[in-house]
Structure 1
């Protein structure tokens, strides 16, 4: 049980014990890093609302800024996470006014703002006083973004909160907030979360059984990501910014439908000189079919104008999207061996370049793996059916190019035989 403390206000909220000292203290920087299921994001979302309550009751006026490196739309922000946190606590739910695209205290003193730090921070920083800034998924925040953000959070007693899953030792976030000691930035993993759900425990045990040790420790124990031969695309891709050239081939748009716990995932990609460029993604768990057309359009510009190849297992969903704003959607073909063929095709590119805004795509490329033997560490010829929804969308999108490539190879082989005859 944690307490919000100042001279006059006491309010009880339930948070993991390890984070109580963080929020009981005043500090310029507060944060948590670590593996999946630690409760860090949910706790920090909740505590932004508690802090907003404290500030508003103390007479302060301004905004709570919630940022990520890239944010194309509110769907990619912390908006929904904060809404759910507020609704979970009755006195916070009574204190805030929550709309479809906004959260603010009913006395209008404190409001939330959401932004992408790389390109959109300038549009917000001059409009209101930033009382608190929370940066979630901070691993990929660039040094340039940190240099721009931190001086804008300059009110007396203002704070910057940071939550992230570590990946690269030496990233801008790692250098600033992990390699330099900060008293109230702590490591949080699943064993620090008293509310760790059973469904995640089953996933953790499955990953412990099937993944190589380095990948398992990155997902669940906050370790840096180490390259592994079990990772299917190890050494094949890079994450960097690029500008699309008019001469590139494409676009190649693909869609994989989600279910209750799996995301609906779509990608937009291009090809040039043997290099595959992934420019946009759309990825959301629990996306209702009624909301899918607008979500796709919001996250992949112009997707309605070009052919979109979707998973053929959901013909009713394809039919719905065709009638409701995505007229060029078509079903993929698939077939026996299509997964292996698709992987081979993607690995056949000289390089795969993923734009940094495609956070979920990059994560899948890091995690998509072959099974390993738990005792010997031997890599097995079996693909783990996880972390592949956006990769599946790429396979569907490039069915056309795969077929052309296969036909070309067969033609060349036949021509060769005839020549030697």
Structure 2
């Protein structure tokens, strides 16, 4: 084999396997992302490299549950090897085994739940690949990691997230080990995403609750719909760019970010008692002097402002059409910010707040027949799924208290609906 070869792997996973000196390599995300197929292929490449270097050992392929080889990654690995001629020539593939023809490296398949203790007796583990790792317990990880102890040995992990805070999620997504390269992979990262799956994805986007769709295809957690503020009230879909012209007006709402919080601007309209959200601007660390870029983009820049436009701003600040033309309602807690943005040529003013205005705003949002979020508004759709009530840490009971996170787009939506939100109590309070 030549020293360099072309391998059919997604570009996003190149960095995972090209980075040297890494013990933990992994990928998480939704279906159809090619992560399992790629890790299967690269396990064969790793076996080839080890055997050619004179090493002997095993590639351990594990899952939490595996009662038979039919439930293992064996068939995936066989297909991956057969897809690359020089690998196919190098391996001896039988009905119940896979090994290099020189017999230096072979595959071992096992379930962690019932066979974990026996793993210690296996031959030298060169790579331990744990697929479908979402359900792997903390105990299993504690036992497996020190078992893979050979010099230069690696642990690979692939999983479809389900529970926020699962053992695998905590270990490899929330706080990954220092020597690790973990990426998120979804269908859009797979250049060979098949047409048959695209049909399935589109069908799910049309018919499933968006939270379920996001879990299947976008690597999101499987959320408890009872705690979601906007559960069963929104859909994510395309609609005509001129549909807003049938509405009475456009609505713009803005929320200001501080520190790590993002700034947001939404363009919306109301039609047939449905709220349509068709454009979003979403950015962290946007400087006050750059707010005109963030809101308007290059197309609606003033002549003098164009002198400040940089080549790198093109992708960073796409802007929202007609943001200069229509009134913008914004968070009234920063009047100096509103004043500065107004000086940049925007018709922006404070939205009213009062004690209970957040709850009243949510009542208004849930009162629409439907909230339709355009597919280009990815952060708004994401927050719609994550905007939640708190739950009791012990019992899991949903509490009547809204979590102060994943709400930046929806705060902007509430501000944009200023005047449409009915106040339950009397007297506006500005704070």
Q: TM range, normalised to the smaller chain?
A: 0.5 to 0.7
1:206 matches 2:203:
yes
Matches within 5 A, 1:15-414: 15-26=9-20, 27-181=22-176, 183-228=180-225, 376=370
The residue aligned with 2:376 is none
Find the counterpart in structure 2 of residue 340 from structure 1.
none
Q: How many Å apart are 1:124 and its aligned residue?
A: 3.4
Query: Residue by residue, what CA displacement relative to the aligned partner does 1:181-200 show, whole Å, maximum 9, x if unpaired?
Result: 45510000000110100000
Q: Distance in 2 between matches of 1:9 and 1:129?
A: 26
Q: SS where residue 30 of structure 1 aligns?
A: strand
Q: Secondary structure at the match of 2:192?
A: coil
Per-residue CA shift, 1:247-286, capped at 9, x if unaligned? Answer: xxxxxxxxxxxxxxxxxxxxxxxxxxxxxxxxxxxxxxxx
Displacement, 1:122?
A: 2.4
Unaligned runs of 5+ in 1: 230-374, 379-421
Aligned residues: 230
CA distance in structure 1 between the aligned counterparts of 2:187 and 2:85, rounded to whole angstroms? 27
C-alpha distance in structure 1 between counterparts of 2:63 and 2:163, whole Å: 17
Tell me, in whole angstroms, the C-alpha distance in 1 between the residues paired with 2:208 and 2:144: 37
Counterpart of 2:236 in structure 1 is none
Say what the alpha-carbon RMSD is for the aligned residues: 2.3
Contact 1:212 1:377 in 2 (8 A): no
Q: Aligned with 1:56: secondary structure?
A: helix
Give the drift of 1:118: 1.2
- C-alpha distance in 1 between matches for 2:54 and 2:19: 20
Give how far 1:172 is off. Answer: 0.3
The residue aligned with 1:397 is none
**Whose Rg is larger?**
2
Which SS does the other structure have where 1:150 is aligned? helix
**CA distance in 2 between partners of 1:191 and 1:12 (Å):** 21
- Residue 121 of structure 1 aligns to a residue in which SS? helix
